[in-house]
A and B are shown apart, each in its own frame.
Chain A
Amino acid sequence: MNSAMNSAEPVPSVRSLVLTYAALVALLALTYAGAQVHLGPSGSTLANNLLAFLVGLAKAVLVVVFFMEFRTATKVSKLWFAVGLVWFALMATILTDYLTSRWDYRPRTWAPVSYPRAVVGSDPNGGPPTPTIDDGQNLGRN
């Protein structure tokens, strides 16, 4: 009929695409229903958050594998997909700083800070006075 018929280019079946869509809608219904009820122990939102994230991940995998035809992509295309993930993982290492360092020089009004504050001359051994951190955000509250 035409050039597409004798081409090696893989063509997905309508059935696989429609089934993928059905699975995506089912996952959407699952995540919406899951958000209407409280899961896990009282006072913890972990189970709800985990469900929402995992369902999102499952939807993304379905879209990549079936809609973006990842299975039949070449090795170079797959490599670039992996590169995207690695780049994101490298960027995510910035969290190691944000979640471990003392970031209490953000404006105090944003969130209560429970870190112990250094006080001038507080060393019981009579050592040199510990300097306070003057970051310009205290605005005379200390």
Chain B
Amino acid sequence: MAATAPLEERLHEQYEDLDQQRQSYNAGFWVFLASEVMFFGVLFLSYAICRIWFADAFRVVGQEPDQKMGTLNTLVLLTSSLTMALAVRAAKLRREFPMLLLLLATAVLGSVFLGIKFYEWWVDIQHYHLPGAAFQWTKPGATPREAEMFFFLYFAMTGVHALHLSIGVLVVLGTIVMYLLGHPSVRRAASPVEMLGLYWHFVDIVWVFLYPMFYLIPPLR
């Protein structure tokens, strides 16, 4: 267990001091997040084009995803962002035990989100809503091709988001294990947990937009 005191943060030779080192890590991670904006950006723009082209059809097909499930999942993910932000704070203050507990809570909440998401996908697949040869759509107001386009975007975007979240959960668990094993790279500095926090919050922000895009499409009234 993490019984020993935290190790001193090590200054690498290319940096003037620890602050410059931390700030460089932070800036480097924002570079990665900027590239992630482009990664998700193409999907968001594809959605924008289809939402405008097939506006009437999306108002009909958009009623299919379960609004309550999506809202519950948003709440779960926002809560996980709070536990992650508190974990980063604990890491900065070198409070090891709260940090480990909060990281664990974050991983558990992330897993709950994924569980709910997998259940939703399973229900969608049961209803033949997975795009491909088996896709079926018979309701009026949208053609099968338009409905398939909606569900393609739905599965692609929530899928890529869930992939990011799965990676996040694995890295959080990996960080906890490395910490318990006393690995110096996580025990010397708060930076790894800070980076993890930035990643987690970014994935949270992506979902904050996916939620109204797929669950809150207003029907024509």
Contact = CB atoms under 8 A, between A and B. Distances in A.
Interface of A: 1-4, 7-9, 11-12, 14, 17-18, 20-21, 24-25, 28, 31-32, 35, 38, 42-43, 45, 48-49, 52-53, 55-56, 59-60, 63-64, 66-68, 73-74, 76-77, 80-81, 83-85, 87-88, 91-92, 94-95, 98-99, 103, 107, 109-111
Contacts of B94: 1-4
Interface in B9-65: 9, 18-19, 22-23, 26-27, 30-31, 33-34, 36-38, 41-42, 44-45, 48-49, 52-54, 57, 59
Contacts of A111: 53-54, 57, 143, 146
Contacts of B59: 45
B92 interface: yes
Contacts of B197: 67-68
Contacts, number: 168
A74 B145 CA distance: 48
Contacts of A38: 218, 221
B86 A88 contact: no
Contact of B201 (A3, A12, A63): A63
B30 A77 contact: yes
B216 interface: yes
Given A28-B75, A98-B49, A109 B201 contact: no
Interface of B: 5-6, 8-9, 18-19, 22-23, 26-27, 30-31, 33-34, 36-38, 41-42, 44-45, 48-49, 52-54, 57, 59, 67, 71, 74-75, 78-79, 81-82, 84-86, 89, 92-94, 143, 145-146, 149, 190, 197-198, 201-202, 204-205, 208-209, 211-212, 215-216, 218-221
B78 A68 contact: no
Contacts of A49: 218
A14 B220 CA distance: 43
Given A3-B6, A43-B221, 4 more contacts: A9-B19, A20-B85, A48-B218, A68-B201
A12 B85 contact: yes
Contact of A88 (B23, B41, B208): B41
B150 to A, nearest CB: 12
Contact of A87 (B26, B37, B44, B92): B37
B26 A56 contact: no
Given A17-B86, A45-B218, A80 B27 contact: yes
A91 B92 CA distance: 37
A63 B204 CA distance: 8
Given A60-B209, A77-B27, A87-B34, A94 B221 contact: no
B149 to A, nearest CB: 8
